[in-house]
Structure 1
Amino acid sequence: MVNSIHPAEISWNEQGLPVANQFDDVYFSNDDGLAETRYVFLNKNGLPQRWASESFTDFVIAESGFGSGLNFLATWQMFNHMPQDQRPQHLHFISFEKYPLHKQDLIRTLDHWPELHTYAKQLHQKYPDIITQGCQRIIFEEGELTLDLWFGDIHESLQNMAQTETGLVDCWFLDGFAPSKNPEMWTQELFDLMAKFSKNNATLATFTAAGFVRRGLIQAGFNIQKAPGFGHKREMLQGRIEIPSIQSTAAPWFYRPTPKSDSDVVIIGAGLAGASLSYALSLRKIKHTIYEQAEQSASAASGNRQGAIYPLLQSTQSPINDFFCNAFNFNRRTLAHLLDQGYAIRHQWCGVLQLGYDEKSAHKLNKLEQVHWPEALLQHVDSQQASDILGQPVEHSGIFYPNAGWANPQDLVNALLTQSLNSGYATVHYQSQLQDWLSEDGQVKLTINGQPHDCQQLILANGHQVIDFSLTSVYPITPVRGQVTHIQTTAQTAALKTVLCYDGYLTPACQQTHCIGATYQRNQLSRELSAQDTRQNLEALAHCIQQPWTHDLQVDPSIGRAAIRATLRDHLPMMGPLVHIPSLIHQFAHIPQPELKANLHQVPLVKGVYLLAGLGARGVCSAPLLGEIMASEIAGTPYPISQSTLDALHPGRFWIRRLCRNQPITPF
């Protein structure tokens, strides 16, 4: 089943500071929590002296126990006060928290330190409204500071994290409640995992001097010394690991190489996928060029007027839940940031109502309702509640996503691209069609509009057209034609207050029209409007919801639109290095079927070429996180998703699964 996250249960002591009821322990020193943070975690990890004496492009801090975020805010303040030439270009702060504070408790706690108010306010604004298991990535300072909040047990989270080739962590804040109060966290397993994810010469500091903690860290490979403690505490521990045993978290067949250079990057496609990647690369100050065959951005599947934003969920623990919960939350934060920057993005966080309109869909939703989801994410509603939420009567029960909604995909794409172009790190060329490409001698050679171009890294983000080339044609991406219809607002439909999903979807009014759709026609590439498809959209609504308000709707013929989506059978996109399928088949075809898995090793990749494709009908929800993950891969920095979810996005996964099951790997 899906693991749920339980918020912290706290009370307040005489000093007005929070106490964790689960552990009967304070979150920080009653004397001066901020001074303790600076002494124990910053000073004893050699910060900021390490930044000034060494050249760090990226510096990664990992912390056991986010609590109120005090350690993070103190680090952020120190980072901001350092001259830019004496600090890392990018600071990445990873924190693990099993019992996250409620938002109101977070801000009440941080009010005790007025000097951190500016930082606390920003944290409060971006702190997740929906708490789900896994990583929640929050970006500050226009990309110079990244916070990854991993909600859940730290042992499970660390076991599920994706490693980089050179290790992950430069510095550990070993915090949390006292070992005597919280022995389940302070384990040899944790110390060993810390060593596994440490870079060369990673440092460590912790407020405790407990003997079993010192011995456990030494056993894991850290050189540990005692140091004077803060305040009334006599001693604390600090240490370093000189040559850690860095272990890959990915199976060899899911290998993802870190590019030797993050320069000279080319993106094909200026839709949601390409624009999201461009935005994420710009935040990392990585120069790149976008080629788009149309005259403008978002001209294909990303060009609809209203796209629903809500997560795809399953009733069992799966990478789909991990990916889409995180993608949904990341989308909300990205959109909020762009709006704060002044971009006009038509949208409404009006909620999404999904109805069980027939026996099959009702059964599916009933299974989903058995899972303990956060109410901020998903709520079960009966037909009367559904009618009240929608603003018009419906005869079905269903589920409601209160923080979901819709956005104009084209507005979102244009905002992402404009932000990238304004950064100076992106260049875009329209009416530029990629006709062919070839990877050889460490370069990717492109033919665009008949002219040769070279690059180091090529990312194919051009929708269903990613399969138009010889080495990608075997990938199981299916083009699906979808036509949306726009209907004129009536007195009845004007009352609609939320996005409605059934065997189709209907949006609230925008500019006196509603978007209704969409048809689903496999391997159909025509973008001509069809009167039959218009009828199908209208009939689907009337059939699924048999109420007077769903009949006699008037079509606005000037707005209808058809586009081609790129879909995959497992409902997850492809993101990552391109596997050379002919070589894969050649390598493994001769191995007897029962021995395939035993002989499986690193699969052949096409050097410098990546796929960012197959976003399907949920692209407006998933694209910003996909771009962030892809940019993390190119930059060689921590991923915002688990290793298992990363594997589930791997472009070679369909063939790899067959090999792991000892099944033939014939082309799809």
Structure 2
Amino acid sequence: MPQTYAKVQFNENGTPIAEHFDDVYFSKDDAEAETRYVFIANNQLPERWKNWRTRRFTIGETGFGTGLNFLLAAQTLIEVLQQSPQTKLRHLHFVSTEKYPLPQLDWQRALQPFRHLALCEALGTIKVYPVAGCQRFTFSYQELHFTLDLWIGDVLEQLPNIQYEQAGPIDAWFLDGFAPSKNPGMWQAELFAEMARLSHSTTTFATFTAAGFVKRGLQTAGFNVEKRPGFGRKRDMLAGNFSTCDTVPPMRDTPYLKRAAVKCSHSNTPNIAVIGGGIAAACMAYALTKRGSEVTMITKGNALADAASGNPQAAVYPQLNAQPSYLSQIQVASFAYCKQFYIHLAQSGANFQHDWCGVLQIGFSETVQQRQEKLIDNEIWPNSLIYSVSQQEVADITGVDLPYAGLFIPDAGWLVPAEVVQAVMDAARQLAMVNVSFNTRVIGIEHTDSDSVNVHVRTETGDEKVQQFDAVVFATGHSSQQLPLLDQLPMSLTRGQVESINSQTPLPALRTVLCHKGYLTPALNGRHALGSTYVKQDTNSDYRETESIQNLATQAKSMAACDWAQTLRHDGVGRAAVRCSTPDHLPLVGAIPNCKQQQQQYNGFMEKRRRELPQEPAVYANTFVLTGLGSRGFTTAPLMAEVLASQMFAEAAPLSHELLATINPNRFLLRSLKRGEG
């Protein structure tokens, strides 16, 4: 789980050198020309892209390095679109691995010579954490979309984690990395076999090396290999295409966890309904429109973000544990993606109030201090993500009298939820047709023989009608339990009240979000968000004086050493909403299971051999769910929407097999069957 950043030196020519491998990241002669020749030309990308018949093309890479290959692939697609606007290709998905990501300052220095490339500045602003697993980043340029999945860790450990639902997702391979003599651990038979697993009948590859054992390894794995003229002073290189191989390793999948894609023709524009009106629904609409879908949002509210997504301020930060739990791993991946997502949204002109001021977790008791010390001592999470701060450092960071040590997450912060939801929806509308039906309740779902889904709705006036869609996504938060098909899934509803207190001494000086048993934000328009209560199975959203008193008491108790925390006042301004979570505190993301049929399929499955199990779990066709985000919706919703959209469109997923299993909607049923409760 723990990873480290690369150790980088720059030679007299400004070329970065990796100390781990004692090798340059790119050619000192003409790095751009080398990439264009070796990887782009020898994969025939410009020619293939001009006549590409689908929206997406996926490149797999071994060894991300500085990201130059990604930048030049993106630049080439931009040039192809300018020359051949008739191409259907609009989405480049770049899946890469990197054992030692560059520290941000070294990365930015290494990219300086390539500032003329369209995505160079945007790439240099992202922050990659040295944490094993996938971190997804997305970029846009005019009408093109670029997805970068960066799998951090050893390539032989990370490639097996890449999941997909149909044919191998990789259309072309950039077999890069440091020279075989410098990095023999990468150039192994396992690498070539994983490349074969992820390839399909028209997949190509190219690599700068011409080593004989590389050629033989690729041939054994099922690739047709040609020796071609190398670049510059290199005499030869290898390139070719995937054929077939009987020894391709199986996908790391389990039949009962298989994730169903949308069953409809993607040659036309899919029409997909998104049920809900909060951050999950908005992110889902955006993820779908990026993939060329038209979206109809159906919400029972009379405005967007009128439920849990409507609080005055929301803190955005990852929930970390002293051990790399599944929850923490998903939180880190979600945080890395959402931070860049919101930055990109703001840079694109969206108007929402926010501040990446950091989040301080206060060590307010001996038990909490011991827990925080353990988190740091275990060295699971890098200092670039979270680090300990002394009492003096806390005072400097916060700007207020706070006699505690703690943990600081410098990249975290706060935003205004309703403004963000509106901004995401505006961004979706710029990509494709998005219609919103307010004051409309879903009262029934019907699946047709043609795999379309009929949605029965009732409007505010009592009128009932039926609308037909290619697929439906329920992103319905606490309303999920009352909706058709979702009542079979276990969910917990929790009322939470947040105060909006006026700024009072010393709070105008507060510079960062404070977290303890509750939380307190810096000022926004002269007021601070303070919360929050947790009342289980209470769906009433009326404001309560008793809970206001409770919120102030929580602040006073958690910061007992602060005189000012004992005298905080409120003036009756606040808001209550209901959160939806699950028994294991992980979201529900995927196809809605037909629990009755799956119970018949997999009852007693632990006693059966895997090959004897049905390969396709029973689900409701083209019907999906994204809910159960709890109080972390603005951290997790952007990535979870990407995960679900990747599933629906049969793309390589940005989470490992293990993490995908933890958010599969049928996991609770399977656990009960495993315990023999079927």
For the aligned pair, the TM-score class normalised by the smaller chain equals over 0.9
* Equivalent AA in structure 2 for residue 484 of structure 1: V
Asked whether the 8 Å contact 1:163–1:249 carries over to 2, the reply is: no
Over residues 479-499 of structure 1, what are the superposed CA-to-partner deviations in whole Å (9 max), with x where a residue is unaligned?
Answer: 110111121111212122211
Corresponding residue of 2:624: 610
* Equivalent AA in structure 2 for residue 275 of structure 1: A
Indicate yes or no: 2:378 matched with 1:351.
Answer: no
**After alignment, is 197-206 or 135-144 more displaced?**
135-144
- Give the counterpart of 2:261 among 258, 262, 272: 258
- Give the counterpart of 1:296 among 290, 303, 310: 303
* Equivalent AA in structure 2 for residue 251 of structure 1: T
26 and 249 in structure 1: CA distance in 2 versus 1, 3 angstrom threshold: same
Asked whether the 8 Å contact 1:171–1:204 carries over to 2, the reply is: yes
For residues 258 and 646 of structure 1, the distance between their equivalents in structure 2, rounded to whole angstroms, comes to: 14
Query: Matches of residues 197-236 of structure 1 in structure 2 within 5 Å?
Result: 197-236=198-237
Q: CA deviation at 1:613?
A: 0.4
Asked whether the 8 Å contact 2:164–2:651 carries over to 1, the reply is: no
* Equivalent AA in structure 2 for residue 424 of structure 1: A
Asked whether the 8 Å contact 1:488–1:553 carries over to 2, the reply is: no
Over residues 4-39 of structure 1, what are the superposed CA-to-partner deviations in whole Å (9 max), with x where a residue is unaligned?
Answer: 232222222333312222212122223222111111
Asked whether the 8 Å contact 1:45–1:204 carries over to 2, the reply is: yes
Indicate yes or no: 2:455 matched with 1:446.
Answer: yes
- Give the counterpart of 1:549 among 553, 564, 582: 564
Corresponding residue of 1:309: 316
Q: CA deviation at 1:322?
A: 2.4
The alignment partner of 2:45 has SS state of: coil
For residues 394 and 114 of structure 2, the distance between their equivalents in structure 1, rounded to whole angstroms, comes to: 44
For residues 176 and 601 of structure 2, the distance between their equivalents in structure 1, rounded to whole angstroms, comes to: 48
Q: CA deviation at 1:104?
A: 2.7
The alignment partner of 1:508 has SS state of: coil
For residues 412 and 605 of structure 2, the distance between their equivalents in structure 1, rounded to whole angstroms, comes to: 50
* Equivalent AA in structure 1 for residue 518 of structure 2: G
Percent identity of the aligned residues?
Answer: 37
Over residues 589-645 of structure 1, what are the superposed CA-to-partner deviations in whole Å (9 max), with x where a residue is unaligned?
Answer: 5x4986698975443211111110001011111111111212222222222222211
Q: CA deviation at 1:543?
A: 1.1
Q: Which runs of no fewer than 5 residues in structure 2 stay unpaired? A: 459-463
The alignment partner of 2:378 has SS state of: coil
Q: CA deviation at 1:431?
A: 0.9
Corresponding residue of 2:277: 270
Corresponding residue of 2:251: 248
Asked whether the 8 Å contact 2:223–2:244 carries over to 1, the reply is: no
Q: Which runs of no fewer than 5 residues in structure 1 stay unpaired? A: none
Corresponding residue of 1:521: 535
* Equivalent AA in structure 1 for residue 479 of structure 2: Q
Aligned CA RMSD, in angstroms, stands at 2.1
* Equivalent AA in structure 2 for residue 443 of structure 1: S
246 and 189 in structure 1: CA distance in 2 versus 1, 3 angstrom threshold: closer
Asked whether the 8 Å contact 2:8–2:19 carries over to 1, the reply is: yes
- Give the counterpart of 1:405 among 388, 413, 421: 413
For residues 401 and 65 of structure 1, the distance between their equivalents in structure 2, rounded to whole angstroms, comes to: 29
The alignment partner of 1:562 has SS state of: strand
Indicate yes or no: 2:133 matched with 1:134.
Answer: yes
Asked whether the 8 Å contact 1:164–1:248 carries over to 2, the reply is: no
* Equivalent AA in structure 1 for residue 294 of structure 2: K
Q: CA deviation at 1:115?
A: 4.5
For residues 20 and 198 of structure 1, the distance between their equivalents in structure 2, rounded to whole angstroms, comes to: 30
Corresponding residue of 1:650: 664
Corresponding residue of 1:467: 481
594 and 23 in structure 1: CA distance in 2 versus 1, 3 angstrom threshold: closer
597 and 215 in structure 1: CA distance in 2 versus 1, 3 angstrom threshold: closer
Asked whether the 8 Å contact 1:471–1:581 carries over to 2, the reply is: no
What TM-score do the two structures reach when normalised by structure 2? 0.93
The alignment partner of 1:533 has SS state of: helix
Corresponding residue of 2:86: 85
- Give the counterpart of 2:443 among 435, 451, 457: 435
Query: Matches of residues 239-638 of structure 1 in structure 2 within 5 Å?
Result: 239-243=240-244, 245=248, 247-261=250-264, 263-372=270-379, 373-441=381-449, 442-449=451-458, 450-546=464-560, 547-557=562-572, 559-589=573-603, 591=604, 601=614, 602-638=616-652
The alignment partner of 1:644 has SS state of: helix
15 and 593 in structure 1: CA distance in 2 versus 1, 3 angstrom threshold: closer
The alignment partner of 2:113 has SS state of: coil
The alignment partner of 1:141 has SS state of: strand
**After alignment, is 338-347 or 535-544 more displaced?**
338-347
397 and 115 in structure 1: CA distance in 2 versus 1, 3 angstrom threshold: closer
Q: How many residues align?
A: 658
119 and 544 in structure 1: CA distance in 2 versus 1, 3 angstrom threshold: closer
Q: CA deviation at 1:103?
A: 2.6
For residues 135 and 602 of structure 2, the distance between their equivalents in structure 1, rounded to whole angstroms, comes to: 38
**After alignment, is 67-76 or 198-207 more displaced?**
67-76
Asked whether the 8 Å contact 1:130–1:376 carries over to 2, the reply is: yes
Q: CA deviation at 1:380?
A: 1.2
Asked whether the 8 Å contact 1:144–1:283 carries over to 2, the reply is: yes
Over residues 72-106 of structure 1, what are the superposed CA-to-partner deviations in whole Å (9 max), with x where a residue is unaligned?
Answer: 22212211111232462221111211112223323
